[in-house]
Amino acid sequence: MNLDFLDIPMPTTPEQIRFFQSNKYIKIKNVLSDEIIRYFNSAITKRVEQLNDVDTPINERDTYGKAFLQLMNLWCTDEIVRKLVFSKRIARLASDLMEVNGVRLYHDQALFKEAGGGFTPWHADQYYWPLTTDKTITAWIPLQPTPLEMGPLEFSAGSHQIQEGRNLMISDDSESIIGQRLRVTDFNHVIEPFDLGEISFHSGWVFHRAGPNQTDHMRKVMTIIYMDKDMKLKKPENENQVNDWKTWCPGVEVGKIIDSPLNPILYEA
């Protein structure tokens, strides 16, 4: 498999940048080839099967547990996965959309929603992150075509402007409280299938969710979370941010650039 494609630039258009800056999410088709997606589907699935230790039946888990199997920083344990996470093609898109001069890695995560898996509640990712600015972006990379019945990512376009709900972790409460708040706004609720090779990017404060997986197949997704290469660590505001500091930014001091060995620069303009 020739993976040089992963470093071939895919230029953004002014229209794409304007769309992202306004809505804080965007979907882009044909970022990756069918061949590359299938290659990483196999590699990531193999690693998830090796590392997953969840054996509790779905109907005995809480809402978070029903939503997906979650495994993080696979790049540290698998050289093949590392090639995807370190893709300059994807990292440059992330940097261009955020209008920064480069990005570094926060962490990666595989999100596998099992057949019959439940919905992922409304939430904003940055609740969990001890970061000083909103210059963050997640690439959501489906490893198969993802129709509506499989539970693709849904967005409330432009909802990064809302303060209410930012203090909520992923839970039944976040689904209810944020959902009610979004229903009385004019923000567009976007729910669309994903083609093979199509990926989305979303900001840390935009609200999003995913429906249940109503198919007989696993919904396999790989995500890469990027931050401005000059991002600094802030004093944590909740226990989840304390945990993220210790886990994903080890040894970094509050007020300093997050440049630990786990946070390499992946693209620099």
SS (H, E, C) 48-98: HHHHCCCCCCHHHCCHHHHHCEEEECHHHCCHHHHHHHCCHHHHHHHHHHH
What is the rounded distance in angstroms from the CA atom of residue 92 to the CA atom of residue 85?
12
Q: Is the pLDDT of residue 193 over 90?
A: yes
**3-class DSSP state for residue 237?**
coil
Per the document, the length of the chain is 269
pLDDT of residue 64: 76
Q: Residue 225's pLDDT is what?
A: 98
CATH architecture for the domain at 4-248: Sandwich (2.60)
Output the pTM of the full model. Answer: 0.95
Rg (CA), the chain: 17
Is there a contact between 107 and 258 (Cβ–Cβ < 8 Å)?
no
Instruction: Please tell me the predicted confidence (pLDDT) of residue 125.
Output: 96
Give me the mean pLDDT over the 202-228 stretch.
Answer: 97
State the average pLDDT for the chain. Answer: 95
SS3 194: strand
**Is the separation of the CB atoms in 69 and 38 below 8 Å?**
no
Helices 88-98, 14-23: crossing angle, 10 deg rounding: 70
pLDDT at 218: 96
pLDDT of amino acid 57: 84
Mean pLDDT of 104-108: 98
Q: What is the pLDDT of residue 53?
A: 86
Q: What is the share, in percent, of the chain residues with pLDDT greater than 70?
A: 100
Q: Which residues contact 261 (CB under 8 A, 6 or more apart)?
A: none
The mean pLDDT of 216-227, rounded to a whole number, is 98
What would the pLDDT profile of 109-166 be if each residue is shown by its tens digit? 999 999 999 999 999 999 999 999 999 999 999 999 999 999 999 999 999 999 888 9
Q: Are strands 199-203 and 265-268 parallel, antiparallel or unpaired?
A: unpaired
Longest dimension (CA), the chain: 49
Q: Where do the structural domains in the chain lie, given as residue ranges?
A: 4-248
pLDDT in tens, 39-56: 999 999 999 999 988 878
Would you say residue 256 has pLDDT above 90? yes
Quote the CA–CA distance of 235 and 132 in Å, as a whole number. 9
Tens of pLDDT, residues 56-78: 888 888 887 877 799 999 999 99
Confidence of residue 183 (pLDDT cuts 50, 70, 90): confident
